[in-house]
Structure 1
Amino acid sequence: MSLVGPGAGQSCRLAVRLAQTEVDLLAAQRLRYRVFIEEMGGSGTLVDHDARLERDRFDTIFDHLLLIDEGRDAAQFDHVVGAYRLLPDTRLTHTDRFYCDDEFDLSRLRASGRRLLELGRSCIDPLYRGGTGMLQLWQGLAQYVIRHDIEILFGAASFHGDDPQRWAQSLGWLHHHHLAPAEIRVRARQENGFSPMAADLLDRRTALMQMPSLIRAYLRLGGGIGEGVYLDPEFRTTDVCIILDTARMSAQAREFAARSGDGGSLL
């Protein structure tokens, strides 16, 4: 697919595929550093500030879904302009943990007996936001879900900053209107004093305007959230757990996923 280059009026070529080489992974970690560390002010125990890489111990077991600008130089680690981290439950042994295990009690998801996929580290280069890049990543994700027979997608989704009261309207709206079904609902492990705003004090317009666009997108697909929030001291975010049961997706979303999976061989 040929697209207009971001801000430059020049043609470029975007492609979506899984990371194939160490260079791909390093480029994804470089993008994550620009977004999560430089832009959002986060940190982490394995962040390499000298090499400008955001990484952690989970990177080696995740699949990395990448948005590639084929006109940029891979040798400079700048060809990756979007990324998603994917971990199917079939890759874990009985002793392995999901990334979200540190933040949320996932026992109900595990007990469901259904095929799980953890999502994380979703980011896109600022120059490529507002275009078709995120849509292309989602199309790649849909292909992955179909090919791996995934039934439930989940992962931490973040509000900027670690003061949940700043996002009281959005968090209250999510709690009162979008809790995941009880049988797969997770719960935050952290005792942080968070209490959702009373339902009669909520303003829908304000709540949705303040909500990150990625979370709104999950809701449109039929997603819900777990109970409580986790305040991440490293990334300085307020995290909720998004849970998307593919059996509850809207007909429109199902059609989109089916179209995305037709005949493709990206993944």
Structure 2
Amino acid sequence: MSIDLLNREVAPATVMKPAASLLPADVFGRIGSMETRLARNSQEIQAAQSIRYRVFVEEMGATLSPEAMDLKRDFDIYDDFCDHLLVVDTALTGEPEEQIVGTYRLLRQEVALANGGFYSASEYEIAPLLARHPSKQFMELGRSCVLPHYRTKRTVELLWQGNWAYALRHGIHAMFGCASFPGTSPESHALALSFLHHSVGAKGEWAVSAREELFNTMDLMPQEAINAKHALMSMPPLIKGYLRLGAMVGNGAVVDQAFNTTDVLIVLPIESISGRYINYYGADAGRFGG
């Protein structure tokens, strides 16, 4: 993969409003039989949790609470107040909750602060980042997963269409969240982590670090020893997708034993999103607006 994805164009530093859509108010985009929207009821949230279980536990080897393992659903207290973005394939037979093929969990700053904080704060020092931007609204992205058969360009486009439209609707200035490498050995991802540390580390007003007791250095190789193309090829698709958009990465990796992952913190100011992606999805989020 070419490293020109890191040559970011800076979009205007404004928060725009989504354009009028031909779709229902809670549907953010549609491609063929597939659409992206928010979960409408507890049954759909539980269905999203079941998909998370299938991906995180059955595929990636996570170990959840006994109750979650028994119910075969990944859930925690954050699910009660987060919004749940879905990708739904309406061509599938059955009830709406049986048509869900992908999900993201969205947590706005005002909601987080009213309910005890952000999930990412359990791994990263989020408070100083927020304090440096008192006039900005942040949104946490988490629990991203897609069923194997639907891991296609179309599904990824719909997830990002949903994130973008939701961010515009709520006046969000920056997104952040943990993204994961498989396994609990940072050293096994030395090339990728070192590339992230040297090339796209969040600096200055966007700097954020792993909690001291959880900190694992990402500086595992000297910069001159890093082959950027090979480093990008070794990264999970989600992290490469964030980089294409213009994301930065916090300092330090965190090992999550329960989820069998090595986490990094993604920081994505709206003003840093690559201009070509703004143009593709539409400055008003109207790209897949029906």
Amino acid at match of 1:248: S
The residue aligned with 1:96 is 116
| Change beyond 3 A, Cα 1:47–1:245 | farther
| Change beyond 3 A, Cα 1:127–1:94 | closer
Q: Is structure 2 residue 286 aligned with structure 1 residue 262?
A: yes
Q: Is structure 2 residue 196 aligned with structure 1 residue 174?
A: yes
**How many Å separate the matches in 1 of 2:105 and 2:178?**
12
Deviation at 1:264, TM superposition (A): 7.6
Higher mean displacement: 59-68 or 103-112: 103-112
Give me the identity figure in percent: 36
Q: Is structure 2 residue 65 aligned with structure 1 residue 45?
A: yes
Higher mean displacement: 155-164 or 140-149: 140-149
| Change beyond 3 A, Cα 1:104–1:74 | farther
| Change beyond 3 A, Cα 1:28–1:17 | same
User: Within 5 A, what are the aligned runs for 1:237-252?
Assistant: 237-252=261-276
Higher mean displacement: 230-239 or 255-264: 255-264
Asked if structure 2 preserves the Cα contact closer than 8 Å seen for 1:222 and 1:249, the reply is yes
The residue aligned with 1:130 is 152
User: Within 5 A, what are the aligned runs for 1:217-236?
Assistant: 217-236=241-260
* Per-residue Cα deviation, 1:187-227 (whole angstroms, up to 9, x for no partner): 11134553512112211122111111111111111110000
The residue aligned with 1:209 is 233
The residue aligned with 1:150 is 172
> Between Structure 1 and Structure 2, how many residues are aligned?
257
| Change beyond 3 A, Cα 1:89–1:237 | same
**How many Å separate the matches in 2 of 1:74 and 1:33?**
20
Stretches of structure 1 lacking an aligned partner (at least 5 in a row): 4-12
Asked if structure 2 preserves the Cα contact closer than 8 Å seen for 1:140 and 1:260, the reply is no
Amino acid at match of 1:148: H
TM-score computed with the length of structure 2 as normaliser: 0.82
Amino acid at match of 1:57: I
The residue aligned with 1:117 is 139
**How many Å separate the matches in 1 of 2:31 and 2:202?**
39
Match of 1:21 among 12, 22, 41: 41
SS of the residue corresponding to residue 150 of structure 1 reads coil
Q: Is structure 2 residue 217 aligned with structure 1 residue 194?
A: yes
**How many Å separate the matches in 1 of 2:75 and 2:155?**
23
**How many Å separate the matches in 2 of 1:248 and 1:2?**
26
Amino acid at match of 2:143: R
**How many Å separate the matches in 1 of 2:214 and 2:168?**
37
Q: Is structure 2 residue 67 aligned with structure 1 residue 54?
A: no
SS of the residue corresponding to residue 143 of structure 1 reads helix
Asked if structure 2 preserves the Cα contact closer than 8 Å seen for 1:155 and 1:243, the reply is yes
Deviation at 1:75, TM superposition (A): 4.5
SS of the residue corresponding to residue 224 of structure 2 reads helix
Match of 1:139 among 156, 161, 166: 161
| Change beyond 3 A, Cα 1:47–1:225 | farther
Stretches of structure 2 lacking an aligned partner (at least 5 in a row): 1-29
Asked if structure 2 preserves the Cα contact closer than 8 Å seen for 1:23 and 1:74, the reply is no
Task: Flag the structure with more relative contact order, 1 or 2, with Cα contacts below 8 A and sequence separation at least 6.
Answer: 2
TM-score computed with the length of structure 1 as normaliser: 0.89
The residue aligned with 2:24 is none
**How many Å separate the matches in 2 of 1:95 and 1:51?**
25
Amino acid at match of 2:269: D
